[in-house]
Structure 1
Amino acid sequence: MQSPYAFQGSAATDEAARVLVVDDDPTVAEVVTGYLHRAGYVVDRADDGPTALARAAAHRPDLVVLDLMLPGMDGLEVCRRLRVDGPVPVVMLTARGDEDDRILGLEVGADDYVTKPFSPRELVLRVESVLRRSRPVTAGPRLAAAGLSVDVEGRRATKGGSELALTLREFDLLAFFLRHPGRAYSREDLMREVWGWDFGDLSTVTVHVRRLRGKVEDDPARPRLIQTVWGVGYRFEPAEAVH
């Protein structure tokens, strides 16, 4: 990895966001912390799960950079416990080639992941992207269709009047579908439009669509709203769309 002082950047916010870096490798943690500091973030560090949970309880982070392979309590369990106290964006660090572990990370609600070895600059860009999408917008419409309602400004979603517990990406994905009913989008399209990336592991999209179906469909095994368009991708088909 390069020196943390080789990168100049800034967190795109007037108030510095707090990032918790959780990794038991001191070299990785130090470099990541250095890059995030230089990008304008306030950074806390932890080298194991219990310490990470204690730090998060003392100072709730705006985002967590979380290594999947931690001693004792692994990153998946840390992610689950962090989410008990409310949604917090998580960027997972995983070993290259461990696709099953990456899928598990996404299944428990990680918003993004970076594989080791990684470019610290790429990690900072991923952090900025996730944080940018997690901030409330100054104005936005309320979207509704098929018993679903999304308050874009308040970042709240309901089904039949009951609030949905959605991760950052699940919320963005649902809002995108509600904005564009009846049109088929490929996974590449969704990666670009929802994640804001022109490249990436497309299984990320697949997992998030599956998770979202589990929360908005009456029968996720037979999805009616988020339909698979074979050879293309996915299409949102509400019985009645309201803009």
Structure 2
Amino acid sequence: SLSVLLAKVRRILTRLEREGAGEGPVPYDDGHLRWDPNADRFWVDGSELTLPAMEHRLLRYCLEHRGKVLTKRELFAGVWGDAITGEGTLTVHVRRLRTRIEPDPDQPTYLRTVRGRGYLFEGPIP
């Protein structure tokens, strides 16, 4: 449909702008979730969101790579670095993060599971 095509074009343009800028992460604000990468702060519905360290790093990493499916291996490397952690740890952190940012954590619109591949941060389509 036309709306799906427009959403895909918007995502591609956003990604191209981000890659072409070379100035670091691009802020995110859709009216519900906001991220200021310069201050490294998040807001949900206008209220500042204070997250535990790993959830903060996970959300920041997902926002820095929004529009891209992130494998579990990429998330482990990008968020946990050299720390040894199991797949269950990632699942728990994703679930906790969803309860904090999703309007309905059981039907995620921000941090989606891509079965057999990993996770995708897209945010709702305006």
* Number of aligned residues: 102
Q: Structure 1 pair 194/203, CA: closer, same or farther in 2 (3 Å)?
A: same
The alpha-carbon distance between structure 1 residues 219 and 144, as it changes in their structure 2 partners (threshold 3 A), is same
| Alignment pair present for 1:205 and 2:90 | yes
Match of 1:219 in 2: 104
AA partner of residue 81 (structure 2): G
Listed as ranges, the gaps of 5+ residues in structure 1 are: 1-139
Give the SS at the match of 1:235: strand
1:15-164 map, 5 Å: 143-146=27-30, 147-164=32-49
1:85 aligned partner: none
Q: Which residue of 2 aligns with 1:169?
A: 54
Distance in 1 (alpha carbons) for counterparts of 2:80 and 2:109:
24
TM-score under structure 1 length normalisation: 0.38
User: Residue 124 of structure 2 aligns to which amino acid in structure 1?
Assistant: A
2:33, 2:44 within 8 Å by CA — same for their partners in 1?
yes
* Distance in 2 of aligned mates of 1:237 and 1:153: 20
Q: Secondary structure at the residue paired with 1:207? A: helix
Residue 27 of structure 2 aligns to a residue in which SS? strand
TM-score, normalised via structure 2 length: 0.70
Q: Aligned in 2, Cα 1:175/1:231: closer, same or farther, shift over 3 Å?
A: same
Deviation at 1:169, TM superposition (A): 1.1
1:203 partner SS: helix
Query: Which structure dedicates a bigger proportion of its chain to helix?
Result: 2
- Whether the aligned pair in 2 keeps the contact of 1:143 and 1:175 (CA below 8 Å) is no
Distance (Å, rounded) in 1 between the aligned partners of 2:55 and 2:122: 17
Report if aligned partners of 2:29, 2:35 keep a CA contact under 8 Å in 1. no
Maintained 8 Å contact 2:33/2:45: yes
CA distance in 2, matches of 1:158, 1:145: 9
Secondary structure (helix, strand or coil) at the match of 1:193 reads helix
Largest Rg, 1 or 2: 1
- Name which structure has the greater RCO, CA cutoff 8 Å, separation 6+: 2
